[in-house]
Each structure stands twice: as C-alpha cells, then as structure tokens.
Structure 1
Amino acid sequence: MSIINFDFMNFILNPFILLFITAGLGLLFGKIQFGKFNFGSSGALFVGLLVGWGAYTLAQRIYETGDENAAGMSAATQIMESNGGNVINTLFFSASLIIFVATVGLLAAKDLKAIIKKYGPKFIILGFLITLVGAGGTYLSTAIVKDTNPFAVTGVYTGAMTSSPGLAASLEAAEDRADDMAQNYPQLSQEEKEVVVSVLKTDSKYADLDAGELTELTAQQQTDFVNSAVSQVGIGSAVAYPF
C-alpha cells in the first residue's frame, strides 16, 4: 500500500500558494488602522516584501545544503536555478502584469471619450508633464545626492508614479543593464564598480567585498549581482508606491 508523500516545504514555496498567502495577509494588514491612516490594498506590497524575503531565504538555505532528498529541494532548485533567484517565475510575473494592465485599460476605457470631449487634450498633456517632471526630479536628485543606488531609485520613480507598465520596463532595463555591467566589470569606471559592489553587499555573504580590490566578478557573483539589481528595482517600487 503506497502512502502519499506530502512535502510541506515544496507546498509552501509554490508560487500560487505564496500569492494567495500574500494577497490574504496583505488585505488584512491593509485594514489595520494607524491613527487615521491605513495601507488599504497597498498592504499586499509590504506583505509581499516580507513573504518574498522569507521564501527566498528559505529556498536559499535548502538549496545550499545540496541534499537532493531534503524537504523542499525541488521548489528551492526551481527558484534558485530555473527562476534565476526569483521567487515568482518571470513569465508568470509578466503574464500577471499584462492581465492587470489590460484590466485597468478596459475599466478606464468607458470614460475616455467623455473626458476628452469635456476637457480636450488637457489631461493628455498633463499626463506627459507629470511623467516628465517626475523623471526630471529623479534625475536631478541622483545628480545632487551621491552614492545612490540607481536600481533602487528607478524603482522608487516607477512606484511613486504608480506605474505598473513602468515597473515592468524598469525591471527589464535593469536586468539588461546589470548583465552588461557584470559581463564587463573590468572595463567599468571606479564609480560604476562601487555601484556593483554596493548592490552585491545587499547580500550578507558579500559584506566584505571591496571595489578597490575586486578586479573581476566570478560567474556566481555576476548572477547574484543581476538578481540583486532587479530586486532593488522591485523594493524601491514597493516602498514608494503607497506614498
């Protein structure tokens, strides 16, 4: 008689389970009143940060044991290898984002004709101005304030603009830029090398790295840098979004 072997770790690291947990806890957290303020649906963002951090940390610890029979090893390998360190598969993320953006467009479409008829091109021009002013302000801030993390700042900009398509574009651009920086690390300027090292240092295992001594990135460091850079965009967006 065969007995069903239920792997709780694989279950809890399943992306669908993580999404349901995050959504449920996020809604509960969003209803908590802090004086006259609550996070509302944005609570899911902060819960997502905690759940994502916890899931990644758990997957990393399981993966680093190297024990193929360890509980959760299948899900941990999926996250660390197939997903490139992302708790949620990139294709799944992109598909969900497309559905979200399409839904917003369909909901807003019914009012588009009435708004254009009533206000003319004013809102269209205003939309461009808000985007450009935000971009200009972000650029000036990074020029004035040194030692900023460009990946996190990019996320803060898209989050402050509450732009989901902007976040998707930023994540894609950050991944391409980070990959290019990792591949060509020896040719980077000293300032760019310091950016790379500062991003790597967000992972505790690289706490002792020194940009002045690091001449080349290992394959693992390159992968970790790209993953951390993309994560910084997401963190910046999540922090800025509710405000």
Structure 2
Amino acid sequence: MAIVVALGTLLGAVPFGPVRFGPAGALFVGLAIGALDPRLGEGLGLVQTLGLALFVYTVGLAAGSGFFRDVRRQLPLMGGSVVVLAVVAGAAMAGGALLGLAPPLRSGAFAGAMTSTPALAAATSLAGTDEPAVGYSLAYPVGVTVTILVVAAVLARPWRARRDPDPVAGVGLVDISVEVDRGGRLGDIPGVADQRVRLSYLARGGRTRVVSPDEVLLPGDRVVVVGPAAAVAEVRDRLGRQVTEHLADDQRTVRFRRFLVSDPRVAGRTVGDLDVPGRFQGVVTRVRRGDLDLLAHDGLVLELGDRVRVVAPRGQLPGISALLGDSERKVSEVDALSLGVGLALGLLVGLVSVPLPGGLTFALGSAAGPLVVGMVLGRLERTGPIVWGLPNAANLTLRQLGLLLFLGATGLASGQAFAAQAFTGLGLRVVLLAVVLALVGAVLFVALARAVGTSAPRAAGGLAGFVGQPAILAYANGRAVDERIEAGYAALFALGIIAKILLVQVIGSG
C-alpha cells in the first residue's frame, strides 16, 4: 500500500495534456501492481472501507452546511440526474446486447463506468457469479478517465449561471477609507443594515476609534468600509468619496489582527454570539477559512481553524485572543471523540438494510452512509459540548489519506481480473461499452446542468457525485477553489448510489 500510494502520487502529478490524474494515480498504479500477484490484492476490504468512509465523511462535514442551504436550488439538477442515469442504464442494456455481452457483464460495465461499488455488490448478488466484477474492473478506469477529461473541459470553459449565485471564493474583499459628505444613521445606509459590508475604523475630531453598532455618521467623519468591491463602491457613493490616506495604517490606538479559532466552545457559534462590539468595543470584519476570505456577518457560524480578523482598541486584543483560543497547536489536533462517533454513526447508518422486491435488500453502505451522516452533522455544527466540524487543515489531510487508501486498495484488489481480460476481445468490448456509457452519462449531465442554470463549478462537482468517484472530486478541487464543487458532489453522490443500485438490477435481470 505504501508503494502504491507513493508511486500513485508521482503518476498523479504527471501532466497528460491538460489533465493530471491526481489521487486517481493510486488506482492505476494499484491495478498494475495487483496484476503481478493475486496475493497482493487479498484482505484489503477493511482498508477500502476505512479509506472510503474517511473520505466521504470529511466531504460531508465540509459540504453539509452549503448543501442544506442550497438544496432547493439543486432540486432540478438532482431530479434530472436520475433521468440521465436511467438513460445510461438503457444504453447499457442496448449496447451490451449489440456487443454480445451477457447481462452480468453489462451490469458490471454499468457499475464500473459509473464507478459504483455498492451497485457492483447488488449486481454480483443478483448474478451469483464473478462476471460483474470482471466488467467492473475493466470499466472502472474508463469511467474515471473519461469523466476527468469532461470535468477538465467544463472547468476550462466555464459558463455564466443564471440561477447559481457567485461563489464566496470568487468574490474577493476590499477595504477603503471614505470621507463622509452625507451622514446618517448606520442602519439607514444601504449595504450596512443587511451586512453586505462592514464598517470598522472611525476618525472624528482627530481621534480614531471603532465604529459602534448604533453609530450616527457626521459630515467630515472618515470610516473604513470592508466588503465585496461592488457593495463597497455603493456605500462609498452614498456616503461621500474615497480618500488616499487609509485609516487602517494608523494603529496607535486601534489595531486589526487575525485570531485563530481554536477553542471548541467558540466553534459552532455565530459571529453575533461573540458580541465583540459589546464586550471588547471592536468589530469582526473578515473570516479566513481555508482559501476562502469571508465577509463577517452576525449569522456566520465559526469553525475550528478559522482566522478571524478583528478591529479593536489595542488594550482589548489579549481578551479577544483568550476568547477565541488563538492556538496553532490546539487547532492542529483532531478531536478523536467527535471523529470516531461521527464515523461510527455513518457506518451504522450504512449497514441499515431496506427490503426490495425480489428478495433483495438495499443499504447505503460505507460510501453513502458516512456521507449522509457527515452532511447532517456538518449542518448541525455542534451538539452540546461536541463540535462535529474539523479544522480545515485536518479535514483535508484526513480526506486525502482516506482517498489514497481507498483507491490504492481498489486497484490492488482488481488488478488480477483487469489483467486477465483487459487485452482480450471480450475485454475490449466491455471497455468500448464503458466508454460509451461514461460519455453518454457525462455529456447528458453537463447538458442538464446548463439547461437548469447551474454553474460550471457546481456542474463539475455534481458530475463527480453523479459518477460517484472521489478522485474526480479531488481533481475538480485541484483545478478550482469554489465551494460549489463540494456542494454539487454532496447533492448527487448519495442519490446517485441509490438510483444505480436499483438500475443495475434491471440491467442484470434482462
């Protein structure tokens, strides 16, 4: 496994035209090494389960809040994706019959092209043979490769989305100093009352202090306005004019500083809950979360690892530091209690079986169970003293580790079957069918995303979830910093698994 992870990382960094396979390199290296000796692929079920559960659970934690906020917006994409999967299933039946493939091979090719291990399990149970596994092992790399190429094309040429709001990551924040010509109550200024901008410094009569929530601005005042460029320009035009002397450069009495949220008692609370104006005569202006720079507003929920920029009197800074924690060491530690409980809940939910017609059963499994639970816990943020969220750095580290373990173990376990059939006539027909299925599914899904007004980043993440492949999500995240990618993945992943499990049984029975 260590060799597969190391060599797979090297392969994933090699550019093939505009594409780098990233973590998917571990899958291809695993297939090559697993083909050398059948013993290398034995006994890896637990590694696959643990790796996959770690990956999808951490994705769920990160995407849960955004998913539930945007679920209404994503309903057309979710409903349409089920129709697209039904079309792909019909293509698998018709194409498989045309190529002379038996139903078990067709079902395996469908599961592999859509990279769905739970669907493979359902197909194997129905067939009672290993034929679906052969089709799966041949089609799986094809599904990953074709979909990554389509995602690369989507992100390389994004389109405007009429129904998708701009990402937080792409907005960018600016701060300027404005001299007030037309004063008034702070709450009456457009953009301030609805917290699209924040005001921090106030200079009046030769004295600089922090703006108070009930401030009345007077002509001649100078203030600092923070927010997206368009909203800041609107407030500037309402108040007066921009001046070149920036108030934030003078830190003799008032200072700005970033504090690290490391105290679990603060995580899961909102900016408004901290009451920084009332307790410290200061104001929170920005929150840095991973690569995202967020404008602070009273309803913004803080997470472990956030870097909070506060403007406050110099003497109040130690108190703010004590409140937020501001400890690199503490935020680097993973809360094993919340991680263990959350993963256990996800795996338990995955074990719940629902009876289906024909004596079959359906379960979310180790792929969708932890994802669904992670999304719910990510939305809850905390339960009493337990903070479910992970610091961003820890989340990304566990996510990458889980992904590499899962893909490497999958490659090692499938290497023998892949090598036995890859270069035979039967194998080539399965690969051809997989190419058709992957292309039909990806192209129809992208067309659907554009038709319902979804942005290119959300479509890329949704396509990764539609296909059900973590490596594709990792590739998309490597190409663009946009929170809509993970939200799209979370919206489609669990739904796709359920639909594929049902459809693969139709394919295998006919």
Under TM normalisation by the shorter chain, which class is it?
Answer: 0.5 to 0.7
Shift in alpha-carbon separation, 1:155–1:149, aligned structure 2, 3 A = same
CA deviation string 1:168-203 (max 9, x = no partner): 11222231xx3xxxxxxxxxxxxxxxxxxxxxxxxx
| Equivalent residue in structure 2 for 1:47, among 346, 353, 373 | 373
1:31 aligns with 2:356: no
Q: Which moved more, 1:114-123 or 1:163-172?
A: 114-123
Q: Is the 8 A contact 1:26 1:44 kept in 2?
A: yes
CA deviation string 1:39-59 (max 9, x = no partner): 2322122112112333xx349
CA distance in 2: counterparts of 1:151 and 1:16, whole angstroms? 32
For 2:340, the equivalent position in structure 1 comes to 20
1:121 aligns with 2:428: yes
For 1:108, the equivalent position in structure 2 comes to 414
CA deviation string 1:84-139 (max 9, x = no partner): xx7x4323322221111111100100111222236131222233222221220112
The one-letter code sitting in structure 2 at the alignment partner of 1:236 is A
CA distance in 1: counterparts of 2:340 and 2:425, whole angstroms? 41
Instruction: State the TM-score, normalizing by the size of structure 1.
Output: 0.54
Q: Is the 8 A contact 1:138 1:157 kept in 2?
A: yes
| Equivalent residue in structure 2 for 1:229, among 476, 484, 509 | 484
1:159 aligns with 2:465: yes
- What pairs up with 1:137-156 in 2 under 5 angstroms? 137-146=444-453, 148-156=454-462
Give 3-state SS (helix, strand or coil) of 1:14's partner: coil
Q: Structure 1 or 2: larger strand share?
A: 2
The one-letter code sitting in structure 2 at the alignment partner of 1:125 is L
CA distance in 2: counterparts of 1:17 and 1:151, whole angstroms? 34
Shift in alpha-carbon separation, 1:16–1:99, aligned structure 2, 3 A = farther
The one-letter code sitting in structure 2 at the alignment partner of 1:26 is G
CA distance in 2: counterparts of 1:143 and 1:8, whole angstroms? 41
Shift in alpha-carbon separation, 1:18–1:149, aligned structure 2, 3 A = farther
Number of residue-to-residue matches in the alignment: 164
Shift in alpha-carbon separation, 1:17–1:242, aligned structure 2, 3 A = farther
Shift in alpha-carbon separation, 1:230–1:144, aligned structure 2, 3 A = closer
Taking only aligned residues, the RMSD between alpha carbons, in angstroms, comes to 3.6
- What pairs up with 1:53-68 in 2 under 5 angstroms? 53-54=379-380, 57-58=381-382
Work out which structure has the larger RCO, using CA pairs closer than 8 Å and 6 or more positions apart in sequence: 2
The one-letter code sitting in structure 2 at the alignment partner of 1:99 is L
Q: Is the 8 A contact 1:31 1:39 kept in 2?
A: yes
Q: Is the 8 A contact 1:26 1:47 kept in 2?
A: yes
Q: Is the 8 A contact 2:465 2:496 kept in 1?
A: yes
For 1:238, the equivalent position in structure 2 comes to 493
1:170 aligns with 2:476: yes
Shift in alpha-carbon separation, 1:107–1:15, aligned structure 2, 3 A = farther
The one-letter code sitting in structure 2 at the alignment partner of 1:156 is G
CA distance in 1: counterparts of 2:428 and 2:480, whole angstroms? 33
CA deviation string 1:192-216 (max 9, x = no partner): xxxxxxxxxxxxxxxxxxxxxxxxx
Task: Point out the structure with max Rg over C-alpha.
Answer: 2
Q: Is the 8 A contact 1:22 1:47 kept in 2?
A: yes
Q: Is the 8 A contact 1:18 1:51 kept in 2?
A: no
The one-letter code sitting in structure 2 at the alignment partner of 1:38 is A
CA distance in 2: counterparts of 1:15 and 1:241, whole angstroms? 31
CA distance in 2: counterparts of 1:134 and 1:157, whole angstroms? 9
The one-letter code sitting in structure 1 at the alignment partner of 2:470 is S
Q: Is the 8 A contact 1:153 1:236 kept in 2?
A: no
CA distance in 2: counterparts of 1:100 and 1:156, whole angstroms? 21
Q: Which 5+ residue runs of structure 2 have no aligned equivalent?
A: 1-262, 266-329, 357-361, 499-510
Shift in alpha-carbon separation, 1:50–1:72, aligned structure 2, 3 A = closer
CA distance in 2: counterparts of 1:141 and 1:230, whole angstroms? 16
Q: Is the 8 A contact 1:156 1:233 kept in 2?
A: yes
